Amino acid sequence: MTTFQESAHIALQDTQLRHNIGNATRAIRAKRNDAVAELPDWEELREAGRALKERVLRHLDHYLVQFEEAVTASGGQVHWARDAAEANRVVVELVKATGADEVVKSKSLTTEETKLNEALEENGIRPWETDLAQLIIQLAHDTPSHVLVPAIHKNRAEIRELFERELGIENLSDEPAELAEAARRHLRAKFLSARVGISGGNFGVAETGTIALFESEGNGRMCTTLPETLITVLGIEKLIPTWQDFEVYLQLLPRSSTAERMNPYNSFWTGVHEGDGPQEFHLVLVDNGRTNVLADEIGRQALGCIRCSACMNFCPVYERTGGHAYNSVYPGPIGAILTPQLEGLDRAGSLPYASRLCGACYDVCPVKINIPQVLVHLRHQVVKHERATLDPEQAAMRAMAKVFSSRRRYEVAQRLARAGQWPFARRGVIQHLPGGLSGWTATRDIRPLPKQAFRDWWRQR
């Protein structure tokens, strides 16, 4: 498996990417700060947002059963999927039962996680991504580099060329408005004739069975309103207790995400609404590793994530590497704690080192997920895991050799040990270095250690 550090080295050589990501995150940071500053009760909202998620997670079995009952009572059908393969199988069968050979899809990280599009294509079903950025990514056979602006690494000329080639549209200019218009025209025909829509969801309300979808373009509304059949794929952690709780998340999410007071469209539907929208509604509840995360009392908080992307925009490591370096559907700080827990340390054990533990992610997280705490916790796990799979003596020797082979590394290790930041150093002795230090130094090599404290440096920017 490619480690974060290896991918980051490649990503860092791509100056276009660095430039785009740098611009994007800088712009969003400033906007987000303004949007948050407008609310005098931001901290109280964050605390409520955190506590509600804690309530749900500590009693997830209760809420899942309640949610299932409410969805069923309002005319929806609930399906459960233990893993990605099962989720895809369920969706493919549901689509096949309608006889449709194409579907319109609104952006959904959960279906990216399960690689649903590949499964649909293998079964002769054509999925149309309808979010503009997702469409660009899909046409380019690429993967998203940012959760919020997935095609941030593509410039307008590339997009124009892509549309001309893949959609057969001629004489396009590279004005963003004209490119968006081309996508609108192309997708409109799909929306009007689609028989099946597939969506994700931002929240599921246990009390009422309501699903919420927050978006900007209106493609989510199209996918969830126009087709006869709607299939929504939801991770089991997406629940909130009651309808009333939207008073919290409707304030936290848009301001943290697109940094607006409110994103253009928020849709809420509850099962099947007679005479309005899809008359067949299926909900697929996906585990796919989430219960493993739930079992870890410290790591569990990662499941409270509402996917706003603020932690990415504020992360100094992400800003330089972009999303691809994480080799994960969830990039940035949240990816660094969620992906290793979802997929296991063998596959994603380098991700907990994709951070400088500066704490900016924690400060901006609208649901107060203590990302640095989970990072440190996971680094412990990585070390334990590596020790279990290596002859300990050999591992220790290797680590020490590595430390002493570079004066700078040694000094860094010492300094960290002294500062007490280094979780693996106790009583002045650096105990477990193998994965730990090698991973950490690899990240640090990206950028020389700043002389000033990170926070000072951050403020001066």
Distances from the Cα of 356 to the Cαs of 101, 211, 318, 416, 442, in angstroms? 47, 36, 11, 12, 12
3-state secondary structure 139-206: HCCCCCCCCCCCCCCCCHHHHHHHHHHHHCCCCCCCCHHHHHHHHHHHHHHHHHHCCEEEECCCEEEC
Instruction: Annotate each residue in 344-383 with x if it binds ligand SF4 (CB under 6 A) or - if it does not, as one string.
Output: --------------------xxxx-x--------------
C-alpha–C-alpha distance, residues 177 and 160, integer Å: 11
Single out the residue of 84, 294, 310, 416 in contact with another protein (rule: CB under 8 A).
Answer: 294
Single out the residue of 257, 270, 350, 443 in contact with another protein (rule: CB under 8 A).
Answer: 270
Toward another protein, which CB reaches closer, 61 or 393? 61
Q: How far is the CB of 236 from another protein (least distance, A)?
A: 7
Interface positions, 271-290, toward another protein (CB under 8 A): 273, 275-277, 285, 287
Toward ligand SF4, which CB reaches closer, 253 or 437? 253
Interface positions, 400-419, toward another protein (CB under 8 A): none
Toward another protein, which CB reaches closer, 200 or 254? 254
What does 309 interact with, of another protein, ligand SF4, none (CB < 5 to 8 A by kind)? ligand SF4
C-alpha–C-alpha distance, residues 295 and 279, integer Å: 37
Q: Of 232-240, 304-312, 412-420, 435-443, which part binds ligand SF4 (CB under 6 A)?
A: 304-312
Site size with another protein, rule: CB under 8 A: 99
Toward ligand SF4, which CB reaches closer, 199 or 256? 256
Helix axes 42-58, 60-73, angle to 10 degrees: 90
Toward another protein, which CB reaches closer, 24 or 342? 24
Does position 29 bind ligand SF4 by CB under 6 A? no
DSSP β-ladder status, 425-426 and 239-240: unpaired
Q: Give the contacts of 140 (CB within 8 A, at least 6 positions apart).
A: 154, 158, 162
Toward ligand SF4, which CB reaches closer, 300 or 409? 300
Instruction: Annotate each residue in 99-138 with x if it binds another protein (CB under 8 A) or - if it does not, as one string.
Output: -------------------------------xxxx--x--
Q: How far is the CB of 299 from ligand SF4 (least distance, A)?
A: 13
Does position 86 bind another protein by CB under 8 A? yes
Does position 368 bind another protein by CB under 8 A? no
Interface positions, 211-270, toward ligand SF4 (CB under 6 A): 256
Task: Pick the closest to residue 151 from 16, 33, 26, 260 (CA basis).
Answer: 16
Beta strands in 58-154 (DSSP E): 77-81, 102-105, 126-129
Residue written as tokens 């609104």?
Answer: 106
Toward another protein, which CB reaches closer, 183 or 395? 183
Interface positions, 16-45, toward another protein (CB under 8 A): 20, 23-24, 27, 40-41, 44-45
Residue 398, SS3 per DSSP? helix
Interface positions, 145-174, toward another protein (CB under 8 A): 149-152, 155-156, 159
Q: How far is the CB of 306 from ligand SF4 (least distance, A)?
A: 5
Q: How far is the CB of 61 from ligand SF4 (least distance, A)?
A: 23
Contacts 24+ apart (CB under 8 A), 21-28: 21/145, 21/146, 21/152, 21/153, 21/318, 21/319, 21/320, 21/322, 21/323, 22/319, 22/320, 24/146, 24/149, 24/152, 24/313, 25/312, 25/313, 25/314, 25/318, 25/319, 28/148, 28/258, 28/259, 28/313
Q: How far is the CB of 410 from another protein (least distance, A)?
A: 40
What does 308 interact with, of ligand SF4, another protein, none (CB < 5 to 8 A by kind)? ligand SF4
Does position 454 bind another protein by CB under 8 A? no
Does position 317 bind ligand SF4 by CB under 6 A? no
Give Cα 74 to chain centroid, integer Å.
Answer: 30
Residue type, 408: R
Beta carbons within 10 angstroms of residue 193's beta carbon:
11
Q: How far is the CB of 210 from another protein (least distance, A)?
A: 5
What does 205 interact with, of another protein, ligand SF4, none (CB < 5 to 8 A by kind)? another protein
Number of residues that this document lists for the chain: 461
Single out the residue of 100, 250, 396, 400 in contact with another protein (rule: CB under 8 A).
Answer: 250
Single out the residue of 19, 96, 261, 415 in contact with another protein (rule: CB under 8 A).
Answer: 261
Check: CB of residue 202 under 8 Å from CB of residue 238. yes
Query: What is the end-to-end Cα distance of the chain in Å, rounded?
Result: 35
Task: Pick the closest to residue 343 from 335, 355, 354 (CA basis).
Answer: 335
